[in-house]
Every structure is written in structure tokens, then in C-alpha cells.
Amino acid sequence: MAEATTSNERGVTSSEGRTADQVLADLELQRRQADQRMRPEVEAQRREAHQEAQKTLDSEAIAAIQQTERALTAIGEQRIDEALAAIEQATGKISVLLSRNPATALIPVNVQVTVIDTAPQSISDIVFLRDAAEVALDINDLPTTRTLLDSLRSEIRVRTYNLPLATYPVALQRAARLLDEKNLDAAGTVLLVALNTLAVIDQVIPLPLLLAREAINQAQAAKDKDKDAAHRLLEFADDQVVRLMELGYTPDNAEYSALRDEINNLRKQLKGKEDTTPLFSRIKEKVASLTRRQSERKTRSEDQKQQQPKKAA
């Protein structure tokens, strides 16, 4: 664990005397040198997450967004009739959605799936950057806090943009009324605000958990041919579980501590002549369950469009 002092401009230095800026500068080099054996698994998981998220998108909701964009363009060109026609089309799409989904508040219209891998491999560097972020937060240096926290991500992020059924139809009706009154500027503002207040929901799949899962799979494949290689792969899996915990992805560290115990017990059994197949199966089932539960966790950010692409489709 890195020891923190308060001797630099950000309020923290590592036990090696490096500042937060220097640790951040080292991360890119560390990532280039990182072991790439399990990266195909990350890309496969990203593709799978994207395909699953695409299935949730609603064509009627997407069409409503597109018609709203069309109305906004027409308003900018002072084509009131065309703008009203587009709003009418959007309102019709919303009516269909309301009839189909009377109990659903949010309808997915777009998705972005991104691999974000900025966290250090070194546990001491993770602890150091986390401590530096706490110091920055304590002195209300929020820009530095955000930068440092962003350097502690190792995840596949599935970000879904959702049309809010409770407020979107009201905005369309208000915009149409303002257009009838020839108040183009106000109508355009209402539509722009509606487009920029799509609800954002994030789901995160931690990369260390995926890398640990793949390492365990590879260790099982190697256990009969090369026990040393299998042992190293299990050691790598254990290291990734530790990173997972230190990066704050674990809602309950007890479960992950128990997983570490099982992995280390398996490493010991590999040295003997016992059949390790049952233990491998049990560990793989536990990792699969933890991965599924991690991917089902959602965080919601209201009234943010953020990096929503121009077109909703």
C-alpha cells in the first residue's frame, strides 16, 4: 500500500516520492506494457453487450426523436407548417408508445458501448490515486477529483439514452402551441431542451472480473499439460480480483474475498494429484454469477444528453 503525505501541489505524494501528475503520466506506458493475453475476451464481451443493448431500442421512440429533430430544423428555417407536421408525427409515435407501455417511464432510443481502461496495474498506484482524489475532494478541487477518479476506471460501459414518457409529450404539445402563436424562438427552445434531457442509464462490466474469468478458463485448459502455467494464470486471476476490489467495483467485498480464498485453495491443490475439476467448476460458476450481477447494476443520470450522437438511430 502506498503511503500518502501532503507535500505537493495536489496534497499527496506516493511512497516513491512521485506526484499525482507523475503517476498519471506513467499509466499510458504501463498500459502499453500490460499483458494482452486476455484482451480478445474483452472485445468479445463488448460486442455481446452492444448486441444485447441494441435489442432494447424502440423504433417508435427513435422515430419520435427524429421527427423532433426535423421540427427543430424546420423552425430554424422558419417553415412553421413543416415543423407542426413533424411535431404531429412525433406526437403520434409517443401516443403509440404510451398505449404499448403504460407503466414504463423510460424508452431506450440509443446506446453506446465503450471500453474504458485507464486504471493502473499496480495496487499501490491505485491506492495512491484514490488517496489523492480524496485529498482533492477535501479541498473542494472538483476538477482534479474528477480527473483522478477517471484514471481509476477499468470497465465496459453500456450507456443507454432513454426517452422520458412522462415529460416528452408535454414538451411536444407546448412547442406546437407556441408555433401556433408564431413564437418560433420559444418553440425551438422547448424542443431543444426536450432533446437534451434524455435520461441516461449506465451499466458497467468491470474488466478485472472479465480478465479473471478468462484466466481461470485458461488455467483449467492448461492444468493437465502445464501446471506451472496454470498456477501463474490463477495468480493473475487473483491479482485481478484484488484490483477489482481496490477500484471500488465490489458492493460486497466479503464475496470477493471468499472468491480469492477459493482461487488460492485451487492453486494449492494444483500442486498435488487431486482432481481439481469440481473446484474449477465451482469457481467458474461463482465468477459467472458475480459477472451477471455486476452487469445488471444500473446508475441513472437525469436530464443529461452528454455525448448522445446527433441522430438517435
Q: Is the pLDDT of residue 75 over 90?
A: yes
Contact between 200 and 159 under an 8 Å Cβ cutoff? The reply is: yes
- Give CA separation, 134 vs 30, 153, 242, 263, in Å: 23, 16, 20, 32
Tens of pLDDT, residues 274-309: 889 999 999 999 999 999 898 888 887 654 444 444
Which helix or strand (DSSP H or E) is residue 159 part of?
strand 154-164
- pLDDT at residue 310, rounded to an integer: 42
22 confidence band (pLDDT: 50, 70, 90) = low
Report how far residue 56's alpha carbon sits from residue 52's, in angstroms, rounded to the nearest whole number. Answer: 7
Which helix or strand (DSSP H or E) is residue 107 part of?
strand 106-117
- pLDDT at residue 41, rounded to an integer: 78
Eight-state DSSP code of residue 271: T
Find all residues with CB under 8 Å of 6, minimum gap 6, and list them: 12, 135
Contact between 215 and 236 under an 8 Å Cβ cutoff? The reply is: yes
Q: Considering Cα of 118, then 120, then 124, then 128, what sign does the dihedral take?
A: negative
98 confidence band (pLDDT: 50, 70, 90) = confident
- pLDDT at residue 307, rounded to an integer: 41
